Amino acid sequence: MTFPERAAEIDLDALRHNIRHLRDVAHPARVMAVVKADAYGHGAVPVARAAVEAGAAWLGVAHVSEGVALRKAGIEAPILAWLHTSGTDFTAGVEHGLDLGISGWELEHVVASARELERPAIVHLKIDTGLGRNGCPPDRWDALLARAVEYQEAGLIRVVGIFSHLAVADEPARPETDLQVQAFREAVAAAESAGIDVEVRHLANTPATFSRPDCHFDLVRVGLGIYGLSPFSDQGSADLGLQPVMTFSTVVSNCKEVPAGQGVSYGYAYRTHKPTTLGLIPVGYGDGVPRIATGAPVLVGNRIHPVVGRIAMDQLVIDFGTTGLVDTPDSPLGKRAVLFGAADSPAVEDWAAAAQTINYEIVTRISDRVERVYLEAPREESADGYA
């Protein structure tokens, strides 16, 4: 059997399962599938299509350019983009019917685009309830609302949403989320008194969707969860009813027996302590594998072996811990090597721990050098032969 040289298999059926599960968890609130950063490395267009098919009501991206790319791929679902700079092409955003997150200064730019296109911009006003990044500071909220109402009355914008982002929802016991919820409620109330008819109030990310039903409001913005990963340190994917979507694999590209004392990879950070067999795994930091993840697990056959020595740009080494494999039917040469993924594979979280980071970063950084291979069960075709 041959395997792709390097592949990130993206199980779109698992993604659909996760979306449906999250819809149940969030019900009656609806789900925005967050597909920024190329859908956390999973591929924005196929993921966005599958998410909408499975019932995501909205798509979320950071950049207007990411939203425009989805529109150009034919995706018609509502798309919210929330992170802008003075170089953002707001006109393209309005022209493609994107919803635009507004924290303050962007409003004038969006209104200028709306005037130019003679088409109202759809906006969601963002309040900073404590994260300290984007969002309007509470003391400037009333002024922003007043301007928004004025532009809405002039037919230049339509305010459909009020939103904010949480800081510590992945640690459900922390009290600061309560303060953010309270501040959010006040901001929504102020918007309503200012005469804005708020269609969607949204605050929750993945952790709050699972742990804080009081944060669901009308819409939850879920990124990590749709990819089947857990945001909590004490719960895995299965505990949350999720299925990991990405499986990252390659092929053992060399296999050799070495004596005790063999130095492995740059710097000789590892030396074998007994005669053993080393396997060469042809992925490295050029493929998005973190260089510091020595010790992380790689599955070959049905056994897990640790990465030894330094991870290089193109390759890393695993130690099989035994001899007598080379040139036998048990030789690992040419066998599939799975770094992380679905079912019995090592977990993304094991790689995150080895790399002192979070699962979000591991999947998002898998580079373009790694082919994305989309998996889904065959669909029934309709009678005329078209699906």
Ligand X SMILES: *Cc1c(COP(=O)(O)O)cnc(C)c1O
> Could you give the residue numbers annotated as active site?
36, 266
Candidate ranges 51-59, 139-147, 217-225, 251-259; the one touching ligand X (CB under 6 A): 217-225
Q: Check residue 200 for interaction with ligand X (CB under 6 A).
A: no
- Which is nearer to ligand X, 222 or 366 (by Cβ)? 222
Ranked by CB distance to ligand X, the top (closest) residue is 223
Q: Give the x-and-dash track for 66-95 against ligand X (CB under 6 A).
A: ----------------x-------------
Q: How many residues bind ligand X (CB under 6 A)?
A: 12
Helix, strand, coil percentages (3-state) for the chain, rounded to 5, are 35, 25, 45
Find residue 280's DSSP bridge partners: 254, 317
Among 10, 14, 19, 34, binds ligand X (CB under 6 A): 34
CB 219 within 8 A of CB 200: yes
Candidate ranges 10-18, 152-160, 219-227, 338-346; the one touching ligand X (CB under 6 A): 219-227
Among 18, 206, 250, 345, binds ligand X (CB under 6 A): 206
DSSP H helical segments within the chain, as ranges? 12-26, 36-40, 44-53, 64-72, 90-95, 106-117, 138-153, 176-193, 206-211, 348-354, 359-364
Among 222, 251, 318, 342, binds ligand X (CB under 6 A): 222
Q: Closest distance between ligand X and the C-beta of residue 387, in Å?
A: 31
With the CA atoms of 105, 37, 221 and 111 taken in that order, what torsion angle do they form, in degrees rounded to the nearest 10?
30
Q: Closest distance between ligand X and the C-beta of residue 177, in Å?
A: 13
CA 178 to chain centre: 25
Q: Check residue 223 for interaction with ligand X (CB under 6 A).
A: yes
Candidate ranges 105-113, 224-232, 310-318, 377-385; the one touching ligand X (CB under 6 A): 224-232
Other Cβ atoms less than 10 A from the Cβ of 143: the count is 11
Q: Closest distance between ligand X and the C-beta of residue 165, in Å?
A: 4
Q: Check residue 230 for interaction with ligand X (CB under 6 A).
A: no
For 337, phi and psi rounded to 5 degrees?
-120, 120
- Which is nearer to ligand X, 219 or 280 (by Cβ)? 219
DSSP character string of 19-38: HHHHHHHHTTSEEEEE-HHH
- Which is nearer to ligand X, 166 or 308 (by Cβ)? 166
Q: Check residue 231 for interaction with ligand X (CB under 6 A).
A: yes
Of 334, 336, 331, 316, give the one whose Cα is nearest residue 256. Answer: 331
Between CA 212 and CA 206 the distance in angstroms is 10
Among 221, 305, 310, 372, binds ligand X (CB under 6 A): 221
Q: Maximum Cα–Cα distance for the chain, whole Å? A: 79
- Which is nearer to ligand X, 133 or 271 (by Cβ)? 133
313 annotated as ligand-binding: yes
Between CA 67 and CA 99 the distance in angstroms is 9
3-state secondary structure of 339: strand
Checking phi first, is residue 321 left (phi over 0); if not, alpha (psi -120 to 50) or beta? left
Give, in degrees to the nearest 5, the angle at Cα 19 between 379 and 170: 155
3-state secondary structure of 308: strand
Q: Check residue 59 for interaction with ligand X (CB under 6 A).
A: no
Find residue 219's DSSP bridge partners: 30, 202
133 annotated as ligand-binding: yes
- Which is nearer to ligand X, 239 or 371 (by Cβ)? 239
- Which is nearer to ligand X, 16 or 305 (by Cβ)? 16
- Which is nearer to ligand X, 82 or 340 (by Cβ)? 82
Candidate ranges 66-74, 111-119, 216-224, 271-279; the one touching ligand X (CB under 6 A): 216-224
Between β-strands 336-340 and 297-300, what pairing exists: parallel, antiparallel or unpaired?
Answer: antiparallel
Query: Applying CB under 6 A, which residues contact ligand X?
Result: 34, 36, 82, 165, 205-206, 221-225, 231
Question: Which residues are annotated binding-site positions?
Answer: 133, 313
Question: Which residues are annotated binding-site positions for substrate?
Answer: 133, 313
